[in-house]
A and B are shown apart, each in its own frame.
Chain A
Amino acid sequence: MNQLTDQQIAQYLDVDFQTASVQAGRMAGMNPRIEAAGAAGIPLYEDEVNLIDEKEWPAIIAEHEKNGWPQRQLITYVHDQNGEPSCVTNAFCGAHEIKQAVTYGVENVTLLSPISGYKFVGSPRSGSSLTANMKRFLEIGVLPLDTPENKAKFKHTHPHNGYSKSLPSGFEETASLFRNAEWLDINGWKPFVSALLSGHPVIYARSGHCILAVSLQHKNGVYILDYLNSWGPWGNPVNDKFNAGLGHDSERVAKSACYGSMALRTVKLITPPAIAL
């Protein structure tokens, strides 16, 4: 995977989403969560998982870089919310797909339809919160995207965008396959980075927009956070497959946005025949 140049990073660093969304013809759409981290019904990351000592971060990041940025390799789709304020649900779908890739391999990821979840947590212009999306994912799930592969495999699928389109009757049956997952609440910079370095994608938000943290760089003594946006062909190359999608936040901006973010630890399995017992 080619390294990004300083110039490439600078072009998409600490982007002002309100201005950039207009330029990109997209919308922000994150509503602030109202409850404190740890009070959303999911455990705090630091209560479940050991945190990584800050002194170890640079060496770990160097190894991740040498190995081609593990989580970025696992990205199989760059979502595009187009003109709808569904950024939070797009980020949740992106995180779920990364963890599916860890579980099954990149060829076996089921791409998801963000709007099939957003319809229940937001309105055409409102946006949605992390907590509402997390609960939707835990309780109901979302539908597979209406790709030819998914249509052949699943009883119900749904388009990527289109708030007004109704979901197919009985969709809950298929959505439940993508329901259970283990989300963890993040209450600071150390758990945020610990999750990221351990391979858990982190959903966070700032400037009214929600994005998915996927890797952390260490350049000239400061950290730069890489995130996957959901504006389709926007940003820097993600991996060998996607030429656009990646933006960057400086350490200062990332630190100010990390409280109240959510990490995805695992997704539950749809039993693949090769390992059924």
Chain B
Amino acid sequence: MPKLLLATLLLVPMLGMGQEVRLPSEVSAVPGQWIVVAPEIVSGGKAKFRLDAGLEEVRLDILFPPDVAIQARGKVLSASKPGLYKVECWNAKGDVPSDIATCWVHVLGTPPEVDPAPTPKPKPDVVTPPPVVAGPRTVLIVRESATDSPSDARMFASLQAGQAHQYLKSKGHSAYVLDDDDPLGAKWVAALGIALPAAAILDDKGVVVFKFSLANGATADELLAVLKSKGG
């Protein structure tokens, strides 16, 4: 990521009243990609952060001059493994602390094997995201068909006729693969507002539950992993 863009994302002025921090509710990335988590609002003292294990912080003090790095209000992170990670942020004004703001970092890809060893239960005061309501889902892919690669061909065939298709059918889901030149495809490109090839998970009312750009070489299994994490 260019340094100038990083600096813009991290140092942009933020306004607010009282003690408050606000984070984007969710960001997504692929393993190894830099992820910027910057508060949208900071009112009060300097924001403090807590990161889930698995998220690594990129040291800004070795990228920028010290007087610039110290002004950063957000974090630049990366994760080497797919999964759902939590970033918490808070501050205080005087002696009054703010509420804890939470941002979920969704690192796309096939989730790692679950460790059979028992894991500690979350602390009772940890903020959890709203429960995902399971139900029929529509998987929508919009892409420029001129960029279809052999791995895309395998993904589309699996979703529409192969193993992934069997899973979708068994759960009452459906999948559509559109071209961006198609009138409806063009509408979806505008509605999703993310880089192509784009994928979206829709609920049974047609509401977008989650959207993300497909990585090069993405597989049907990876797509299903995201679908399953979003109630599918």
Contacts and interface: CB of A to CB of B under 8 A. Distances in A.
Contact of B153 (A198, A266, A272): A198
A199 interface: yes
A269 B145 contact: no
Contacts of B183: 269
A199 B152 contact: yes
Nearest to A66: B154
A64 B150 contact: yes
Contacts of A277: 184, 187-188, 191
A276 B156 contact: no
Contact of A68 (B162, B181, B187): B162
Contact of B157 (A49, A67, A197): A67
Nearest to A272: B176
Contact of B156 (A48, A182, A199, A274): A199
A269 B151 CA distance: 23
Count chain A CB atoms within 10 A of each CB in B146, B160, B176 and give the residue with the most: B160
B148 A199 contact: yes
A105 B182 contact: no
Nearest to A102: B156
Count chain A CB atoms within 10 A of each CB in B146, B156, B175, B185 and give the residue with the most: B146
B150 A274 contact: no
Count chain A CB atoms within 10 A of each CB in B138, B140, B175, B188 and give the residue with the most: B175
A103 B176 contact: yes
A200 B148 CA distance: 9
B27 interface: no
Contacts of B148: 49, 198-200, 265
Is the interface on chain A under 10, 10 to 19, 20 to 34, or 35 or more residues? 20 to 34
Contacts of A275: 138, 140, 176, 178, 184, 188, 202, 206
A105 B165 contact: yes
Interface residues of B, number: 37
Contacts of A60: 150
Given A106-B165, A275-B176, A71 B138 contact: no
Nearest to A198: B148
A39 B2 CA distance: 45
B174 interface: yes
B76 interface: no
B222 interface: no
A49 B177 contact: no
B178 to A, nearest CB: 6
Count chain A CB atoms within 10 A of each CB in B157, B191, B202 and give the residue with the most: B157
A197 B138 CA distance: 27
A63 interface: yes
Contacts of B138: 274-275
A60 B150 CA distance: 7
Interface in B132-164: 138, 140, 145-146, 148-154, 156-162
A160 B191 CA distance: 40
A182 B156 CA distance: 18
Count chain B CB atoms within 10 A of each CB in A49, A63, A103 and give the residue with the most: A103
A75 to B, nearest CB: 9
B182 A64 contact: no
Nearest to A180: B182
A70 B177 CA distance: 15
A67 B162 CA distance: 9
A242 B202 CA distance: 33
A49 B146 contact: yes
B179 interface: yes
Nearest to B206: A274
Given A64-B150, A70-B153, A106 B181 contact: no
Nearest to B160: A105
A52 interface: yes
Nearest to A194: B150
Contacts of A102: 156-157, 160, 177
A73 to B, nearest CB: 4
B181 A182 contact: yes
A105 B153 contact: no
B154 A63 contact: yes
Given A68-B157, A105-B176, A269-B184, 8 more contacts: A70-B154, A71-B153, A74-B160, A102-B156, A103-B178, A269-B178, A275-B202, A277-B187
6 contacts: A70-B154, A70-B162, A106-B160, A266-B182, A271-B184, A275-B178
Interface of B: 138, 140, 145-146, 148-154, 156-162, 165, 168-169, 174-179, 181-185, 187-188, 191, 202, 206
